[in-house]
Amino acid sequence: MTALNWTLEWVAAAVGATRPADSARAVGDVITDSRTLQPNDLFVALRGPRFDGHAFVADVLARGAAGAIVERGRVQGDARTIEVPDTLEALQRLAHAVRTAVTTKVIAITGSAGKTTTKEAIAALLATRFVVVKNKGNLNNHIGLPLSLMQLRTAPDVAVMELGMNHAGEISRLVEIAEPDMRVWTNVGDSHLGFFASADAIADAKGEILERANAGTVLVCNADDARVMSRAAGFPGKVLTFGEAGGATVRARDIRDRGIRGMSADIETSAGDRTIETALLGRGNLMNVLAATAVALECGVNLDDIAHEIARLQPADRRGAVRLLRRNITLIDDSYNSSPSALRRALEVVAHEARDSRAIAVLGEMLELGDHSIALHEACGRAAAAAGLSRLFVVGGPPARALADAAIAAGMQPSAVSYFETSAQAAPVVVDALEAGDLVLVKGSRGTRTDVVADRLAAELG
């Protein structure tokens, strides 16, 4: 299929608006940030608590925008403006119109952990055979997903879209916009627990990925996760599973943890058995690779090509990237985000390496855990102590201090545990504490900014 030929008239019809006077004007990309404007882009004037895109409409039109979608009565009319009651709804309607105008296969991914890694792995495996697009960066929410779906106007073979959420109902809306042909559900964990009453409530919200499915829809889900499997039981389409459980469509056995060198395993599939090796760290990432394998096989990718590409996969930026610094110091930069389950998996990798070298961890407070925060941080403190760490640096508020105290109570020497309110305070102390041959893990929620520590290490020791 050829790419869509956009005009302002096509856009107006898609969002249910009266066509503008200059309706034949061609449209380039769709943007919401006026600073990224290129000639003939279409600007959508979104509004939020601290910003209003309508303030920039005149500027983008003067700088060569094809047009602008604006809320009725908010700006002076122009031959290139498309007026709507709500610009966010219009952006979402436009994305849905693009999605339904092409024959691109859309694959949507959700889960408490591993969404981005799974997205990148699926895209890499499918790219061996197809033209593939994927979310740009972490554009996976009610604004980001529609912007990512605009790439479908080029009519690629496959679009791999990550769906993010932290409240009930959000995945449901994203599924409505994207109408995915294939859905991937990685797991249910404890991220965003502060917004939900329980892990079961999180599972119900993630389970919205199953909505609007039919007999032709494919679900790829985690055979080892009871909450996922119980909700997938009534799925009307084809169900493929991955994991260690017997009977999984893509099953791993004889798993070998190679520490900072990644994972290897023997896998069983309907296309045959293979041994796979990946540089991605830990069992969680191995499960993400299995999910990607199930998707690729279903899409017709050869198993040998899959195994070859798995060996080439590299961690996404700040998601477990391993970097060798001066003095043979190894940095695991996992500073993009954190949750209790993800942190425990990262500590398993560190524990593997702690048998042969000094292991250091810089752990930031994990946010959005609500009333469960202190208890979950304490549990992670005990896991840190069990990992055999030589030094532990903890950053954040009272929950972070609870993690540090729990690590000491679980057996770490008080002199080996340091607490800081901010990552900027911790960074120089961590640098000074490192010795030749050390392994250092840096992990925390984005709001804790442990990336500041990782960047300081890379700058001074890189």
pLDDT tens-digit profile of 267-289?
Answer: 999 999 999 999 999 999 999 99
pLDDT tens-digit profile of 165-224?
Answer: 989 999 999 999 999 999 999 999 888 788 898 999 999 999 999 999 999 999 999 999
Q: What is the bridge-based pairing of β-strands 263-269 and 272-278?
A: antiparallel
- Give the residue from 370, 423, 369, 367 showing the smallest Cα distance to 394: 423
CATH superfamily of 321-461: Mur ligase, C-terminal domain (3.90.190.20)
> What three-state secondary structure class fits 431?
helix
pLDDT at residue 2, as a whole number: 73
What is the pLDDT averaged over residues 318-339? 96
CB 245 within 8 A of CB 224: yes
Please, what is the average pLDDT of the chain? 96
Domains of the chain, residue spans: 8-85, 102-310, 321-461
Dist CA 125 CA 135 (whole Å): 16
CB 404 within 8 A of CB 430: no
| Domain spanning 8-85: CATH 3.40.1390.10 | yes
Dist CA 295 CA 126 (whole Å): 8
pLDDT tens-digit profile of 50-97?
Answer: 999 999 999 999 999 999 999 999 998 789 999 999 999 999 999 999
Tell me the β-bridge partners of 266: 253, 275
- Give the residue from 181, 189, 188 showing the smallest Cα distance to 160: 181
pLDDT at residue 458, as a whole number: 97
| pLDDT(226) > 90 | yes
What is the pLDDT averaged over residues 416-423? 98
| pLDDT(142) > 70 | yes
| pLDDT(154) > 70 | yes
pLDDT at residue 462, as a whole number: 82
Topology given in CATH for the domain delimited by 102-310: UDP-N-acetylmuramoyl-L-alanine:D-glutamate ligase (3.40.1190)
| pLDDT(1) > 70 | no
pTM for this structure?
Answer: 0.95
